[in-house]
Each structure stands twice: as C-alpha cells, then as structure tokens.
Structure 1
Amino acid sequence: MTGRGGGAKKELDPEQLMKKKFRAKCLFRALGRLVMANAHWLIEDSENYEGLENVKRRVQQAMRGKPKKKQLLSINDKALLNKPANERTEQEKKYIYRIIGGLKCFKRYPNHVKKKLAAVTYFKYYGPCRTIVRQHQDAHALYFIVSGEVTVTQMVFDELLQQYVSIEIGVMQSGDLFGEVSLLHGIPRTATVTTVGHCELLALMKEDFKNVLQASVQKQWDEVKRAMSAFTYFDGLDEVARREGCIVAKMKSYEQNETLLGDGVGVANFVYFVLSGRCQMIESIQVVVTTRLGRDFYSLYDPYIPPDESEQDLDTKYFGAYNNRRESRDSVESTSQRKSIERKRTESILKNSSLSKQSKHSEGNKGESVQISVDGPEIIELSASTAAVPSTQENRVLLDPTEQGRNSHRMSVIPEAIVEPLPQNLRTYFMQVCIFNPGSSFGFGENMRDRRIVALTPVDCMLLPKIWLLQRNTANIWTRIQHYLDKKIPTKKDLFKQFVEDRRWQEFRDQMVDDVVSRSNTVNWTSVHDVPYSIRMEEMLDI
C-alpha cells in the first residue's frame, strides 16, 4: 500500500503491540499503587484549598473541627523532592536548600554539604508498620527521618529456645539518620528498621552518598572511635562491638556554666564520658539557722534522710515481729478459753429453758424468741426472759431497725497526711561536691537528688546508652564504677559537716582579726575605696 508521500506504511508487529499495551498496563497499575501508598500526604492539599467553585469542598473545610498539624514540608516541596536530581534546575536546588537546610536532621552538617544534599535527596513516605530496611540485605540508600518514629530490631540467636528471636535495640525519631554503617563499610544491613506510624524520610542513594556525605560521616566515625580508644574500658571490645558503639554514641559539647546533667536537663539513660574540660557537681542543702546568745547554730533540714537507728530501734524493728506473734498466740489462747466458758454457760441456759418451756406453754404465755449462733451450724432459740441473762460484753443498739434503706458511709481509719510547715530561718546553700576532669565518667545511676553537674570550662563529652554498656559488662566493670561513685561522692550529711566546719572557721577568723585590731593603738584609716577594683571584683562574697 502506497501513502501520499510515496512511502510504504510500516505495520506494527502484533507481538510488539501486545508488549507495548502490557507495559502501559503495568505502568498504570504501578501509578495506582504509588498513589494509594502516598495517599496520606497527598490529601493534605485539601487543607490549603482556596477555590471558590467547589462548594462541597468549601463546606467540608468549614465543618472540619481541628486543623492538621503544620507539616515541615508542603505538598509542593515533596513533589519537587520526588523530581529526578538531573532534572532539577539551579533555582529549584536553591529553594530545596532553603527548605531542608533548617531541618533538624541536617543541622549537624555545614552549609556546603547541605547544598549538595539538597540537589540529590529524595522524599520517601512509609505508612505504619512498614519495613524500611531489613537485616542482612544489601544497602542501597541512607535515610534521614523528617517526621515520625521508627523502631530498630535485630535477630539474635537464643540459646535457651535454640532459635533466632527479634529484640528491640532502640527507637529513632525526627532528626536521626540510619543506614550509614552499611554504606560506609560496604557490609549488609546490621538491623531491621520498621515504622511505628506515618513516617516521612529523605533518602540519599548509594552513589550520591559516596560523592557527598561519605567524608563527613567518616570524620564523625573516626571522632567516636578516637574517643572510645581514650578509655581503657573499651579495649576488650571486638570490631563489631566497636562499630555498634560508634552507631549509638553521641558527641556533645557544652559551654561554660552550662548544665550537663540534673534539674531535668541532660540525656536520660546515657552515660557521660568527659573528653576535655572540667565540670563540677553541685548539691543544694537546706539549713535551719538558730541564733542563741549571739551565736549561730546550724541544723540540717532534709525530710528524706531517715534518722539514725539506735540499739533500741533495731530491737523494735527486727524483734518486734516475734513479740507480736507471741502476743497474738496468747490472745488466741484466751479467746479459746472464753469460748469454752460461753459454751458451758449456753448449755446450762438451754437445760433451764427446756425445763421451763412446758410450764410456760401450759400457762399460755407466749414469749418472744431470740436466735443466738454459737460457733457452729446449730441455732439455739431462747425466750425473751432467758435472753436477758447478763453477759460479759455490753450490747448496744447503734441504729434502730428500719425497712427503708440507708446511705452507706465509709469511715477511714487511715489518718490523712499531715503537711508539716517549713521551719523558720530556713536557708539554702550550694556546695561543691566534686570535680570531674578529662577521663571521668558519670551517669551510671548514682544518686542525683538535689544535685546537678555544671561545666567549669568548655566541655566535650561522649554519651553512650547505659543499656548498651550493661550488655557488654565485662568483669562487672560498670556496676563497680557505680558502686565506687556512690561510696566516694560525699553524702548530704558529710557536706553539712563540712559546711559547719567552714562556718566555725570563718567565725574564728573574724573574731581573731577583730581582737588584733582592737588591741592596736594606731588608727586604721583604710576603707574599701582604697582597694583596687580588680581585687574587689575577684573577691568571693558570701550572700
């Protein structure tokens, strides 16, 4: 067949046509699955609807009770982050840099690294209970958590069950990243990461990681390894354990007079290892000051400290239970004797009542009967006259019987907690407990009540999870360190004793100076204005 242009029209092969249709069908299905998977963040566009022609949409927007939480990335930003990196323009890259540069997960990197990340990162969304990476699989990307929460699990062989079980290592939240270990060392995935709820991530592919982020991650990795090698505690760890330590470790820097731990500040369940700088532990004590005959007397006020136990207290505490048991046994014996006496008395009354019962029936007198229960299933009926026999216990009618119901009242036998008022002349003082130098460690679980750790100079610390350390507790080293700190750090009573000694020495010094000055005949015209300002500014004044 000849066309208008003079050339023959080439007919398509039926097999190729079928392949083309099948490919289009597969692409359409993949697009549908992609839309269904990302429906959670795609529907947020209705929150920013400003159209006027769709009345139904406007009514739904007006009737919506509570607006959604403001998203870190808008739907346009996510669509732009899904665009292939080689198709993004310079203007789009600058816009992405402004958007993701302020995210929590990118704050650790310098600006030139953020610009490179903005050009190659992709947006990923995962619904609840979705597995992002699986253990022992090959690594293809590094992930930054923008919003949401994920759990990290690991398959470990259980010797008792003789099978592999999944244990939870930790939880990652917004601002964390995962997947860098496999990319950095070229090894399979070391753990499985599963989403808890709706999670939004930024993915960095393997090739882009080598070009952009490998040098920065390697620098951080080497910094943690160098910090761990400075402590002899980690000499016995193998290469796998060291690698896990580098994953879970945190590097923190603190300025002067900044609080490291205490007063609700600090990373919970982490152990601090001081790399550089000096910090001090400060404890607050409350002292009651009483003035008698012109002299101050001090007493420690702390309701949490138990009083000292004397020998009498110990005897009451540890042998009181035996005495109570003996008293209860004596009371049981006396109760049994009393019951036997009452039983004999009841039997005699029963005999008398049986003898007088016939005479009363013959006389025609009808008495009111009373029922008494005596330690058994039998019920003895007594007449009104015999029920009036006096007994050892006094019987009283508390409430008259009534057919109408009464409201129940509960009388508590537990006394209410009495809040004692604070004593007068109560003052709070801050005492320096100890100083931590480079190479020190704290946060093992020692007592931190009324205590805080403050930096004296700029301090750098390495933080490791306490649970990770306890899992590798070689020779029980971490428990021994905690016991050592509890024994060596002075208690509140020791601090109070030191406080009183310092006060007595200060009073003695001032009295000695006053005595020497009073015996001198010369007049001292020196005033505080004669002291240089530099000295006066450096003096420690007791407020």
Structure 2
Amino acid sequence: MVIKRNRYAEDLRRKALLKYKFKKVVREVIMNSQWLDENYEDQKISANVKKNIALMMRTKRRVGILTIYEKSLIRTPHHLRTISDRSKLCILFAGLRCFLCIPPKLRARVVPVIKYMSANPGRTIIRQGDEPHIIFFIVAGEIGMLKQSDRKVKLNSNYKFKLIVFPKFKSNCEISFGPGDCIGDIEIIEDRPRDYSYVATSQCELLVLVDNDFNSILKPYMQKVWNDKKAALKALDYFDFLSEDQILKACKLCTLKQYKPLDTIYSHDRGKLTNVHFVLSGQCLILQCLNMKVIVKNGKKGYELVDTLDGEFLNMNSNNSINKREVKSPSMFAALNAIHDNEKESSGYVVRPSVR
C-alpha cells in the first residue's frame, strides 16, 4: 500500500509554528502588561485649558524600581547579550537590596540564569503543599504569607458517609515580605514541600531562579548561613520553648551581624524600633547621653539636667555651640572627651553618658 504524500504538510507545520509563537507572545504581553504600559496614563482632556496643560506637563509616574530597558535587558537571552550588557546587569544586581548579602562572585554567576517576572495583586506565587522548584527575589512590591487549612464536609447518601476536603486560606496574613526578601529558599534547603502559600498583595517585580541553578550556585553559601542561624537560635536558652516550625520561621526572619569593638549597634536616633538584638558572643554596653549644665553655687559645683529637642546633638569642640546651648556629640568618644574637658570648666554644657 502506497501512502500518498501530503504536499501541504510543510505549510501546515509552518502555520502551526507561527500560531504557537503568536499565542506565546500574547500570553507574555498579558502577563507583563503592567510594566509594558507603565508610562501610559489616562489623561482625560476637559474644557479647562490650564488643567489640560498641567496634565500634559506632569512627570510620568514610574511603577516599581526597574525601568523598561532594565527589564528587557534581564529578559534578553544571555547568549545574545553583549559584554556591555552583561556588565550593566552586574552593576544593576549589585545595587538591588535582595542581592546585598550575596558575595559578588556568586552574584555574577547568577546573572546569566536569572529571569524576570511581574505579578499582579492577588496572584498566588507559591502554593502550599507543592514541591519546591523555584525561588523568588522580591525587587518591588509586597507578598503575604498565608497558612492553608483543610475544611472537611461529610455528605450522607444512603447511609454511606463521604468525606470531602476543601482547601481554605486563613483570612489574615502571617508575615508580609517586601523588597530585599527572598521566598521559597527554605523548602529547597530543607528538602521539604511548601509549608505556606505566598500571594502578591500589590504589584510585584520578582527575579526568579530555578532549583538546578540555585543548587549549583547559591545553595552552598545560603545553606551555611541557614545552619549558622539555626545553631545560634538553639544555642540560646531563651528559645528552648520554640517548636521546630517556629525555629524555621524565626530563622527566616532573623539576620546575623558582626560588630567590631566600639561599633555602635544603634543610637537614640538611629536603628529600627522593631528589631531585637540577642548577643551571641562578646559584650556590649548601653550608654545614655544626657545634656548637663554645670552650675557653681557658693564655691560648690553642681549639675542640672537640660531639656533639648529631638534631633539636637552635642558638640564640645565649638564655643559657639556652647553659647547657643547646642552641643553636638557625633560619637561616644566625643561624649567621653567632653566630660574630661568640662571638669576643668566652671560653667558650660556637658554631655555625661551613663552606663546601665
């Protein structure tokens, strides 16, 4: 039996390929319509001429951190990038908060394999129970971490009970992640299914890394940091009551920092009030700087506390500052030197640190 050749087979194959490419382009445009149209604004023209001119002259609103050129550069295949493009990407990634803790050599190796992704509000980034294959670096936007619980319903049919399980999310977000955070890395490091679901709460810009590239580039470094965090938490008696799940969550939120001798951990006007510091090794002092006025009465020296406004500092090196009652102390050394210098003075203003 002779099979008759289809003379139009090549044309049909070519049309199917073009149709597939067109659908792929349409899907990409729909998924990334937000950043493609970031320079577009709905300017409604009215009868008010001044208002129309103000709308036309107004600076275009920029959504997110990355520009269209930077996004297109990240999306360009690595073999098509020039040497100049690759150096620009290395400089760009060095300035992103999500890569500040990664060594420069590892950061340069990530550039060829990382991908860009845009997520609209309400989109599920990671679903609870799935196998971990991707990690996400948040460049812009916020992502909420939700815990999924099962809601069971029993149906009675001919005296036979059937059990149906409906997945249901908790209404409140347990943790909110923002720019500079990384999600999805814990499950790959611990080799376990996804413990939580992550949903975008605002327009997000993400950098995506698949598990094979993560295992070969970043996993050895991040595994060491992760083990150090777990060892630090377990070394403190304060966290003996924590469960394994709570330890994993605490390791996700905490950071390890090292300070040199005489470094300031935080001062009265610097640092975040939401951070709590636990000392793993070494010693630290709590200093309180007070503005004191030296008063001499009947040949006896006395001190009086002077109220100052927030944001005023002490500087003992300037006579004008002393006369104006604006003494500025940029560091602990200036405060200590001010005490010794003012012991010789009969009047003036001094900063006296108290050790608690």
If the length of structure 1 is used for normalisation, what is the TM-score?
0.47
Select 1:206's aligned residue among 211, 221, 243. Answer: 211
Residues in 2 aligned to 1:258 and 1:66: alpha-carbon distance in whole angstroms: 43
Residue pair 1:157, 1:165 contacting (<8 A) in 2 also? no
User: How far did 1:123 drift?
Assistant: 0.8
Q: Which residue of 1 aligns with 2:141?
A: 148
**Structure 1 residues 273 and 28: CA distance shift in structure 2, 3 A:** same
Query: Alpha-carbon deviation of 1:150?
Result: 2.0
Q: Would the aligned equivalents of 1:145 and 1:174 in 2 still touch at CA under 8 Å? A: yes
Q: In 1, Cα distance between the equivalents of 2:121 and 2:251? A: 28
Distance in 2 between the 1:291 and 1:81 partners?
70
Confirm or deny: 8 A CA contact 2:146 2:173 kept in the other structure: yes
| 1:39 paired residue among 33, 36, 41 | 33
Per the alignment, residue 170 of structure 2 pairs with 165
In 1, distance between residues paired with 2:91 and 2:292?
Answer: 55
Q: Output the CA distance in 2 between the equivalents of 1:67 and 1:294.
A: 69
The number of aligned residues is: 290
For 1:226-237, list aligned pairs within 5 A: 226-237=231-242
Describe the shift of the 1:288–1:220 C-alpha distance in structure 2 as closer, same or farther (beyond 3 A).
Answer: same
Which letter does structure 1 place at the counterpart of 2:281?
S
* Counterpart Cα distance in 1 of 2:137 and 2:304: 56
Instruction: Give the counterpart of 1:253 among 251, 255, 258.
Output: 258
TM alignment of 1:204-283, pairs within 5 A = 204-283=209-288
Partner of 2:104: 111
Distance 1:140 1:87, change over 3 A: farther
Quote the offset at 1:282 in angstroms.
Answer: 1.4
- Runs of 5+ in structure 2 lacking a partner? 42-51, 152-167, 309-324, 326-346
Q: Is the 8 A contact 1:149 1:196 kept in 2?
A: yes
> Equivalent of 1:185, from 157, 182, 190?
190
How far does the alpha carbon of each residue in 1:407-427 deviate from its partner, in whole angstroms, 9 at most, with x for none? Answer: xxxxxxxxxxxxxxx9xx885
1:11 aligns with 2:7: yes
Give, as a single letter, the amino acid of the residue that structure 2 aligns with 1:432: S
Equivalents in 2 of 1:60, 1:206: separation in Å? 52
* Deviation of the 1:24 alpha carbon: 4.8
Distance 2:290 2:137 in 1: 45
Q: Rg: which structure is higher?
A: 1
Task: Kindly indicate whether structure 1 or structure 2 has the higher relative contact order, using CA contacts under 8 Å at least 6 residues apart.
Answer: 1
Q: Aligned runs of 1:122-133 on 2, under 5 Å? A: 122-133=115-126
Q: Root-mean-square deviation (CA), in Å?
A: 3.7
CA contact under 8 A between 2:119 and 2:204: conserved in structure 1?
yes
2:60 maps to 1:67: yes
Inter-CA distance 32–244: structure 2 relative to 1 (3 Å threshold) = same
1:302–1:86 Cα change, 3 Å: closer
Query: Quick one: structure 1 residues 289 and 147, their matched pair in 2 at CA, closer, same or farther if it must change by over 3 Å?
Result: same
Q: Structure 2 counterpart of 1:205, which letter?
A: V
Identity of aligned residues (%): 28
2:287 is aligned with 1:291:
no
Change (3 A) 1:13 1:119: closer
For residues 110 and 151 of structure 1, what CA distance do their matches in structure 2 show?
Answer: 28
Larger helix proportion of the pair: 1
Confirm or deny: 8 A CA contact 2:136 2:206 kept in the other structure.
yes
What is the alpha-carbon distance in structure 2 between the residues aligned to residue 104 and residue 80 of structure 1?
19
User: Which segment drifts farther, 193-202 or 108-117?
Assistant: 193-202
Structure 2 residue aligned with 1:175, among 171, 176, 180?
180
- How far is 1:9 from its partner? 6.8
